[in-house]
């Protein structure tokens, strides 16, 4: 397999949204909103187009990683810009062959070059521990409500960056959208059956779990 990672261009938009819809459909809820999230991010001030990348195998897009600005603020009021990825997805036919890892590795190296202190995400730890992500609890980073959700994961790019402070993680407001708008956007795509599957029950547990 000849895998290449490159920056996303406007010509990729529809293909990436179709791929995102395939990868997330019925995974976390009946249907999915992630292709709408990707669409919204591209028009938002917090979009990071230089980092947003696609993975190609023999010229076909099989994976996508989308980046936005995020921030951490410490107890002294010091605010630092960080980077957040998501949606991250690989077409179901290409999963478990290293494509997702390549997207993370490629963009991580770009961020290290730029001097970004850390990547922070809200995601399933199973996918990210092997890339060096730690729980927010271990580096004293919580969400604005003071909690340490299991899904809050931090990859320090400058080792020790968080040491000696308490930090609050802020994501871009682009993620706060009306689900009805996402549904209306999805109606532009070919019909697809929404149904329940067990991964949705696991997700419902994951988003309520916090780290002691």
Ligand X SMILES: CC(C)(COP(=O)(O)OP(=O)(O)OC[C@H]1O[C@@H](n2cnc3c(N)ncnc32)[C@H](O)[C@@H]1OP(=O)(O)O)[C@@H](O)C(=O)NCCC(=O)NCCS
| CB distance 88 to 104 below 8 Å | yes
Residue where the block lists tokens 């980092």: 51
Residue 101 touches ligand X, criterion: CB under 6 A: yes
Residue 201 touches ligand X, criterion: CB under 6 A: no
Q: Provide DSSP, 128-174.
A: HGGGT-EEGGGGTEE-TTS--BTTEEEEESSTTTTTTS-EEEE--GG
Coil, strand or helix at 46: coil
Nearest distance from C-beta of residue 176 to ligand X, angstroms: 18
Residue 89 touches ligand X, criterion: CB under 6 A: yes
What residues contact 113, with CB distance under 8 A and at least 6 apart? Answer: none
Residue 208 touches ligand X, criterion: CB under 6 A: no
Nearest distance from C-beta of residue 168 to ligand X, angstroms: 21
Pick the stretch among 2-10, 45-53, 91-99, 155-163 that binds ligand X (CB under 6 A).
91-99
Residue 61 touches ligand X, criterion: CB under 6 A: no
Residues 5-34 that bind ligand X (CB under 6 A): 23-24, 27
Pick the stretch among 2-10, 71-79, 109-117, 124-132 that binds ligand X (CB under 6 A).
124-132
Residue where the block lists tokens 């949705």: 200
């Amino acid at each position: 397999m000849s895998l290449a990672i490159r920056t996303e261009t406007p010509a990729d938009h529809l293909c990436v949204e179709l791929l995102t819809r395939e990868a997330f459909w019925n995974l976390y809820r009946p249907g999915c909103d992630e292709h709408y999230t990707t669409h919204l991010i591209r028009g938002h001030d917090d979009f990071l187009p230089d980092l947003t990348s696609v993975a190609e195998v023999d010229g076909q897009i099989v994976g996508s990683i989308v980046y936005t600005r995020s921030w951490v603020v410490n107890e002294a009021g010091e605010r630092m810009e960080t980077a957040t990825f998501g949606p991250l997805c690989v077409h179901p036919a290409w999963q478990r062959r290293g494509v997702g890892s390549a997207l993370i590795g490629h963009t991580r190296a770009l961020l290290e070059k730029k001097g970004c202190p850390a990547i922070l995400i809200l995601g399933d730890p199973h996918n990210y521990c092997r890339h060096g992500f730690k729980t927010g609890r271990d580096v004293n980073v919580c969400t604005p409500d003071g909690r340490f959700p299991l899904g809050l994961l931090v990859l320090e790019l400058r080792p020790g960056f968080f040491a000696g402070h308490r930090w609050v993680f802020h994501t871009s407001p682009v993620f706060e959208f009306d689900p009805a708008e996402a549904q209306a956007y999805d109606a532009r795509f070919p019909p697809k059956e929404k149904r329940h599957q067990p991964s949705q029950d696991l997700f419902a547990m994951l988003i309520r779990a916090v780290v002691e």
